[in-house]
Structure 1
Amino acid sequence: MDEELISKKDLLELTGISYGQLYRWKRKNLLPEEWFIRKSAFTGQETFFPKGQMLARIDKIKNMKDDLSLDELAEVFSPVPTDLRIDANELIKRNIVSKITTEYAEPFLGPAAVYSFEQVLYLYLLDCCLQSGEMNLDEGKHLLQTLSENYPRFEGKPSDLIFIRKMGMSLFLLVSSGSELYAENSAKVVFRVHMAKKVEELKMRITAI
């Protein structure tokens, strides 16, 4: 089902932000261009937005703009991984990734005192999937291999991680975001994760004081 849309007029009234703020945040790349949707209305062409995504993003901007500059916020919201490197012990200490997850992943990612952002992203996804109960530990190695071998190929372009299970067999796929996926009836799509959303989540966890 398509997400509910909200008009620009209703958005400004609901959030209390000004027209100028809205378009300044757009220019600063805090609000994606694709969220500004031009549609025909009885008054002519009007701008609409995906309601849930827009309200959630504006709420985050309001809560974070006193601690971070607009440029820093744009970096947090960007779907492109950063060149940041993170100390492994700090990840565990701050409960971004569990010690069990880092120890399990070591044979696949290699031992490291400091991880690249992409490696932390893989660990974070593994940790989230294990804690949700949607995936078992043995399947985790396939998730790590899929991400390590294929995620860099997208070069920051929007992608989705898909987990399919059939008769006890599991399969992970990385596809372009928005791609339609059809599978035989006996195959179950366990989850489909937007990688950009997880990149944003992780950046916010890392930058949190």
Structure 2
Amino acid sequence: MEPNLISKKELLDEKGISYGQLYRWKRKQLIPEEWFIRKSTFTGQETFFPRDLILPRIDKIMNGKDDLSLDELADQLSPVLPQYELRKMDFAKRNIVSRVVVETFAADDADSVVYSFEKLLYLFVVDKLLQAGEMSLEEGERLLQTLKQFFPKFEGKPCDLIFIRKMGVSSFVLSSSTADIYFETGVKLIARLSMAECVEQLKGKLA
């Protein structure tokens, strides 16, 4: 079995959950359909999951289900962007991103300009990498353009932002969360962010 996958049986045993729970969470869209990967094995067809995605997701479901209904959890964990608007003035006051990001990437917007959740998300992701000290302001501008151009193409499906650099030249890639990506020699992976997790984190800040 591939090391980045975990079988359904291993998952149920490791997390102490039942088959019924797993598929109920799937029906409630707490676990994306594309994480259920069917593969041929010597015993027939088996279901596998991306290990790095499913294990923390099961933990989040189990930790949250006592405080929230499954529908509320699904809303919280969904990569689909909510209908949400916030004025620039309120966005800046609430310190959702650093002042540097507001002054650099939203300087031309009047305080009364209303931001959609999508635009807030892009600024939030840029700020996340800037705060980590992994990206320059010039790279932040290119990232912002990359997100605007390509993130909507995923139409609410989980995807990852991949930030790489080779010989001082940086690039950004948006890819399906379940995709395996291999780089040529000399490419340094600076960051791989789950956009679904960024959506979840931003929802928490805006709540």
Deviation at 1:43, TM superposition (A): 5.2
Other-structure match for 1:117? 117
Q: Does 1:18 align with 2:18?
A: yes
Identity of aligned residues (%): 55
**Is contact 1:6–1:50 with CA below 8 Å preserved after alignment?**
no
Runs of 4+ in 1 over 6 A off after TM superposition: none
Is structure 2 residue 129 aligned with structure 1 residue 129?
yes
Q: Distance in 2 between matches of 1:11 and 1:51?
A: 9
Counterpart CA distance in 1 for 2:16 and 2:144 is 43
Amino acid at match of 1:7: K
Alpha-carbon displacement from aligned partner over 1:15-64 (angstroms, at most 9, x marks no partner): 23333221111101101222223345565444333333222111111222
Query: Aligned runs of 1:165-180 on 2, under 5 Å?
Result: 165-175=165-175, 178=179, 180=181
- One-letter amino acid matched to 1:200: E
- Residue in 2 that maps onto 1:5: 6
Kindly tell me the number of residue pairs found equivalent between the two proteins.
204
Let me know the Cα RMSD of the aligned residues: 3.2
Name the counterpart of 2:146.
146
Aligned residues of 1:86 and 1:116 also touching (Cα < 8 A): yes
Partner of 1:155: 155
**TM-score computed with the length of structure 2 as normaliser:** 0.76
Paired amino acid for 2:201: E
Where does 1:15-164 land on structure 2 (aligned, <5 Å)?
Answer: 15-40=15-40, 44-86=44-86, 88=88, 91=91, 95-107=95-107, 110-113=109-112, 114-164=114-164
Query: What's the CA shift for 1:131?
Result: 1.2
Question: Who is 2:193 aligned against?
Answer: 193
TM-score normalised over the length of structure 1: 0.76
User: Unaligned regions of 5+ residues in structure 2, if any?
Assistant: none
Could you tell me which runs of 5 or more consecutive residues in structure 1 were left unpaired when the two chains were aligned.
none
